[in-house]
Amino acid sequence: MFEAEQRAYVRACQARSGKVLGHVGTVNAARDMELLRTALGDDKLNYFGISYGTWLGGVYAHQFPRSTGRIVLDGAVDTKISTRDLNLQQAAGFERALRSYAEACAKRGATDCPPSKGDKSAEAIISDIRAFLEGLDAKPIRTSQGRPLSQTLGVSGVATALYSKQLWPVLSQGLTMAYEGDGTVLLSLADAQNGRREDGTYTNLNAANTAIKCDDTTERYTVSDVEAALPRFRRASAVFGPLLAWNLMQCTGWPFPGDDEAKEVSAPGSAPIVVLGNTGDPATPYAWAPALARELGNARLVTLHGEGHGSYDTGDPCVVKAVDDFLLQGKVPADGTRCP
């Protein structure tokens, strides 16, 4: 079933975008950025990239180090590790974020937490979430949209709420409703993550992500590869591990072989680049930030001890000042700067 759906997806991509599918990787995107810079007559490229945007910024700096201006890379990606390790570390990152949510929830008390069958400890909250999501596999629940909340959508909805600490109260509301049989809030969170519009159509968010990813790697995983990896993914996260393990097959059957050129981001001769890492980031785990800074070779690492994906959008005054001073005034932060 899964393999058949994957083959159908790939066929549809090829039918609609076959002429460009092999040309949308990060290396070509970086070249396009350089063309835009020269067309605008700018001496240097000033750039703020978050998440995948840090990979794009790193590739640009590698290809055009003399053209780099003030570049900030927030929510860094480690370009050197395999897709399996990327997904595995993401699973662990989301598990850590879920625990942070549960610990904060347990401290606040019953009024701000989803109901628990046992005590109100963080462990009990996580256990209840895990049991609920596992139950959706056999018995999806209703929503006001008329579409049931399946296990995959439920896991996606929980993960979406972990991207920002501001969404934690929404997650509590969504779980409270879901435990009572209404999956509307969790489905809305999953839809936002998947780029689903109100009319039932989708943005090209996931399709573009797939095309870029598959152009940027030669890795192609099989069902056997996933099944062999599943125990490690489950140990990393019983909640998020299986979904991220099966996501390894994102490029299976892709009509182009891809290449690994985009993994190279060393940028000798570039202007100083600022890399931001958030210790509580679920989607781009913190370890990727110092890894990218090392690979760039001329980077300044700024660390936020916080929660959520990325650092600047948390509004932390220390991070905002460091970034604004750099982008607006050219003041380069000290390497190893730490923000509370």
CA 210 to centroid of chain Cα atoms: 13
- Dihedral Cα 145, 149, 153, 154, nearest 10 deg: 120
Pair of tokens at residue 192: 């936002």
Contact 273, 267 (CB under 8 A): yes
DSSP 285-315: -TTHHHHHHHHHSSEEEEEE---SS-SGGGT
The H-or-E segment that residue 339 falls in is: strand 337-339
Specify whether 309 is catalytic. Answer: yes
Q: Rounded to an integer, what distance in angstroms lies between the CA atom of residue 87 and that of residue 138?
A: 25
Residue 50 φ then ψ, to 5°: -125, 140
Distance of CA 86 to the CA centre of its chain: 10
Instruction: Respond yes or no: is residue 281 known to be catalytic.
Output: yes
* Residue 136: closest CA among 145, 147, 125, 144: 147
Structure-token pair, residue 335: 């390497």
Catalytic residue among 51, 116, 156, 270: 51
CA distance 200 to 36: 34
Indicate if 313 belongs to the active site. no
| Rg of the chain over all Cα atoms, to the nearest angstrom | 21
Paired tokens of 242: 């299986």
Number of H-type helices and E-type strands within the chain: 13, 5
Q: Which of 74, 116, 172, 309 is catalytic?
A: 309
Tell me which residues are annotated as active site.
51, 281, 309
